[in-house]
């Protein structure tokens, strides 16, 4: 992983796992502090910065991932291409590109900002809460996916119609439809009207 001021501050030289810190924000997305990752997600949840990435292939199909079964939050459910949290002080764009590479082994092409969305989604299965100010990004996946099995259980490229069918029969993350709907204008601009998004 490339070392930046943000990643250097969030890695350990001793090889021991350090607490992952998130950036707490107010309703306008202004940073107001930090909190440990799990603590920020425990009910009722603390509003924190997050990102969601939507990558598409040349046919306008969305790359989905099924979260690995070992994930502490929302394991085994389908979700958008990549989502996560910037380290404190890390730009959301840089975090989105970093985590997409870490999880899926690809560097997004034409990655562009697609707005922000704020939501509060409890996860009934875990009791954790997604209280997030989420930065949205859309782009292209033009490399072969090489997913990290500790992060990703499975991937699939789907058309808009296939997503509707899959969403009706398979479990998806609590936040998926909220972030997808918020990103749709940018998705349509990227994929064109014929893709059906």
**DSSP states of 20-54:** PEEEEE-TTS-EEEEEEHHHHHBTT---EEEEEEE
- 151: Cβ contacts below 8 Å, ≥ 6 apart: 67, 68, 71, 102, 103
pLDDT for 60-79, tens place per residue?
A: 999 999 999 988 788 999 99
User: Residue 48 to residues 12, 13, 129, 191: CA-CA distances in angstroms?
Assistant: 23, 26, 11, 30
- pLDDT tier for residue 30 given thresholds of 50, 70 and 90: very high
pLDDT for 160-186, tens place per residue?
A: 999 999 999 999 999 999 999 999 999
Contact 121, 130 (CB under 8 A): yes
What b/e string do you get for 45-78 counting C-beta neighbours within 10 Å, with b at 16 or more?
A: bbbbbbbbbbbbeeebbbbbbbbbeeeebbeebb
Contact 86, 23 (CB under 8 A): yes
Judged against a pLDDT cut of 50, whether residue 1 lies above it is answered with no
Q: Which residues are catalytic?
A: 83, 132
Which run of H or of E encompasses 184?
A: helix 176-191
φ, ψ dihedrals at 128, nearest 5°: -85, 160
Q: How far apart are CA 159 and CA 81, in angstroms?
A: 14
Q: The pTM is what?
A: 0.90
DSSP-assigned letters across all residues of 62-99:
EEEEEEPTT-SSSTT-EE-SEEE-PPTT--HHHHHHHH
* Predicted local confidence at residue 5, as pLDDT: 39
Q: How far apart are CA 22 and CA 40, in angstroms?
A: 8
Contact 104, 155 (CB under 8 A): yes
Judged against a pLDDT cut of 60, whether residue 136 lies above it is answered with yes
* Predicted local confidence at residue 73, as pLDDT: 80
Burial class (CB in 10 A: 0-12, 13-18, 19+), 17: exposed
Using alpha carbons, select from 152, 9, 1 the residue that is nearest to residue 81: 152
């Amino acid at each position: 992983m490339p070392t930046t001021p943000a990643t250097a501050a969030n890695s350990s030289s001793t090889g021991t796992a350090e607490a992952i810190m998130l950036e707490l924000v107010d309703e306008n997305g202004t940073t107001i502090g930090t909190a440990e990752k799990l603590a920020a997600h425990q009910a009722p949840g603390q509003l924190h910065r997050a990102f969601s990435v939507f990558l598409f292939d040349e046919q306008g199909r969305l790359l989905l991932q099924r979260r690995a079964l070992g994930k502490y939050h929302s394991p085994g459910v389908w979700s958008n291409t990549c989502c996560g949290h910037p380290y404190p002080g890390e730009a959301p764009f840089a975090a989105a590109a970093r985590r997409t590479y870490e999880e899926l082994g690809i560097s997004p092409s034409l990655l562009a900002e697609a707005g922000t969305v704020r939501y509060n989604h409890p996860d009934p299965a875990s009791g954790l809460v997604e209280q997030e100010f989420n930065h949205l990004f859309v782009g292209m996946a033009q490399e072969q996916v090489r997913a990290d099995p500790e992060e990703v259980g499975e991937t699939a490229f789907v058309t808009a119609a296939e997503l509707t069918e899959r969403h009706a029969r398979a479990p998806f993350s609590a936040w998926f439809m909220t972030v997808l709907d918020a990103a749709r204008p940018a998705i349509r601009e990227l994929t064109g009207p014929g893709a059906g998004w």
